[in-house]
Amino acid sequence: MLDPETAAPCCPPLTERPLTAEEAERTAKMFKALGDPVRLRLFSLVASHEGGEACVCDISDVGVSQPTVSHHLKKLKEAGLLASERRGTWVYYRVEPSVLAAMGQTLGQY
Amino acid sequence: MLDPETAAPCCPPLTERPLTAEEAERTAKMFKALGDPVRLRLFSLVASHEGGEACVCDISDVGVSQPTVSHHLKKLKEAGLLASERRGTWVYYRVEPSVLAAMGQTLGQY
DNA sequence: CACCTGATTCGATATGTGTCAACATAGACA
DNA sequence: TGTCTATGTTGACACATATCGAATCAGGTG
């Protein structure tokens, strides 16, 4: 999980000035989380799912075992990209809204 | 190096529909390339350098050895994020312009 | 309670990756 | 040609990570 204090307004556009070591460390975590094909598909499945959230059962069909899916979802949570909530039998994941904006800003688009 | 045919118009926004396995494979490569702090700093150093390009000598001060810098620059080239050109003694790197736009589009911003 | 299903954690393994020292290559210049 | 400087490549190593099967946990339901 990312500290909410440090998560929200991270870093300037890559084209504005060189990133400091600390900024690079933080920003790289987000890109790294999306740098795996399975995680990218899982993230896309959640992000594009109706209602903005999906339970694990909805998105488990990406060609790897269920423990592996769980492992990747955990990584996405630790990177601050997804949030999860258990409601009864199922666990629902949704996209952490501020993150896409932060990454977009890092890429220099507003 | 990325095939120019497949590099330019890659993938739809992550929020539009689930990525296919092939789309995820291609897109993940770009994110993965920026998923290392050293590479992110190198990329930012090039992207923010005056004239849009920088020679290796300008950006080598990121706390790792020169071979390691060379290794990371190669990775960024293979991911299609940077292009290089030798002019006399020095090798200049510049940002591949279409890439930031492609990644921005993937994040759902236009 | 027992049982079933969904989801996570654990343990093990194979593969990938970041790093450096040593070496190789490419231009510039004398 | 030889030498100096700037980059790139190789080989080796430690560490991280993606993956799976098995075990475990959490919530229903009977």
Question: Which CATH number belongs to the domain containing residue B69 in this structure?
Answer: 1.10.10.10
Nearest to B35 by CA among A28, A99, A77, A103: A28
pLDDT one-digit tens code per residue, A21-73: 999 999 999 999 999 999 999 999 999 999 889 999 999 999 999 999 999 99
Question: Where do the H-state alpha helices sit in chain A?
Answer: 4-7, 21-33, 37-47, 56-59, 66-78, 97-106
Q: How far apart are CA A17 and CA B44, in angstroms?
A: 7
Domain count, chain B: 1
The answer as to whether B6 is a domain residue is: no
Look at residue B54 and tell me if it is in a domain: yes
CA distances (Å), origin B3, targets A85, B7, B98: 41, 6, 13
Question: What is the residue type of A73?
Answer: L
Is residue B61 included in any domain, yes or no? Answer: yes
Summarised one tens digit per residue, pLDDT across range A83-92 is: 999 999 999 9
- Whether residue B8 is contained in a domain is answered as no
What residues of chain A have any CB closer than 8 angstroms to a CB in chain B? 14-19, 21, 24-25, 27-29, 31-41, 43-45, 47-48, 62-63, 95, 100, 103-104, 107-110
Name the band, by pLDDT with cuts 50, 70 and 90, for residue B99.
Answer: confident
Instruction: Report the amino acid identity of residue A3.
Output: D
A27, exposed or middle or buried, with CB in 10 Å at 0-12, 13-18, 19+?
A: buried
Classify residue A56: in a domain, yes or no. Answer: yes
Range of the domain at B34: 19-106
- d(Cα B106, Cα B103) in Å, to the nearest integer? 5
Chain B residues whose beta carbon lies within 8 Å of the beta carbon of residue A53: none
Task: Give domain status of residue B11, yes or no.
Answer: no
Task: For residue A68, give how far its alpha carbon lies from the nearest alpha carbon of chain B (Å).
Answer: 16
CA angle, B33 then A39 then A4, to 5°: 85
Residue B77 to residue B93: CA distance in whole angstroms: 9
Please choose, from the candidates A79, A108, A109, the residue with its C-alpha nearest in 3D space to the C-alpha of residue A96.
Answer: A79
Interchain contact, A44 vs B17, CB within 8 Å = yes
Q: Is residue A26 assigned to a domain?
A: yes
B7 contacts B101 by C-beta, under 8 angstroms: no
Torsion sign (Cα): B2, A110, B43, B38: negative
pLDDT in tens, B47-92: 999 988 999 999 999 999 999 999 999 999 999 999 999 999 999 9
Classify residue B22 by burial, with Cβ atoms within 10 Å: 0-12, 13-18, 19+.
Answer: exposed
Residue B87 lies in a domain: yes
CB-based contact A73:A61 (threshold 8 Å): no
Nearest chain A alpha carbon to B36 = A28
- Comparing alpha-carbon positions, the chain B residue that sits nearest to A48 is B15
Q: Which residue has the tokens 């990209």?
A: A81
Nearest CB to B24 within list A25, A41, A110:
A41
